[in-house]
């Protein structure tokens, strides 16, 4: 999440909003979200993970990374599911992908 925080200016210039969520309780999520320019929700449940199609790890009662890029209408433009710490979207990748989509749209 720090990468998204570091790229605040670029993301906002592209009109990107960022929202993060965690299975952690409020106090732990607050520590993770402290100093971030975007909201960090807490208390993601198994039912919510299932609704997203994300993997839920029973042993630690956590949702594995599930990331989505949505357009202004809520259409999913890109998604990433992981079963561990690898394969997450990076802020710089989101900047590049949004810029690509915007350039493609401008070309018609």
For 50-82, what is each residue's pLDDT tens digit?
998 899 999 998 889 999 999 989 999 999 998
Q: Are 52 and 69 in contact (CB under 8 A)?
A: no
| Residue 85 pLDDT grade (very low, low, confident, very high; cuts 50, 70, 90) | confident
What is the per-residue pLDDT for 102? 93
Q: Are 25 and 15 in contact (CB under 8 A)?
A: no
| Residue 8 pLDDT grade (very low, low, confident, very high; cuts 50, 70, 90) | very high
What is the per-residue pLDDT for 95? 96
Residues 17 and 84: their CA atoms lie apart, in Å, by 24
Domains belonging to the chain, first-starting first, are 2-107 (3.40.30.10)
What is the per-residue pLDDT for 75? 93
């Amino acid at each position: 999440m720090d990468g998204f925080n570091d790229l605040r200016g670029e993301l906002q210039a592209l009109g990107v909003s960022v929202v993060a969520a965690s299975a952690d309780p409020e106090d732990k999520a607050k520590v993770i979200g402290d100093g971030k320019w975007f909201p960090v929700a807490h208390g993601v449940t198994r039912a919510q993970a299932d609704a997203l199609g994300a993997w839920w790890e029973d042993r630690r009662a956590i949702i594995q990374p599930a990331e989505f890029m949505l357009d202004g209408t809520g259409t999913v433009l890109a998604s990433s599911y992981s079963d561990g710490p690898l394969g997450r979207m990076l802020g710089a990748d989101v900047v590049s992908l949004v810029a690509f989509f915007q350039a493609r749209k401008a070309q018609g």
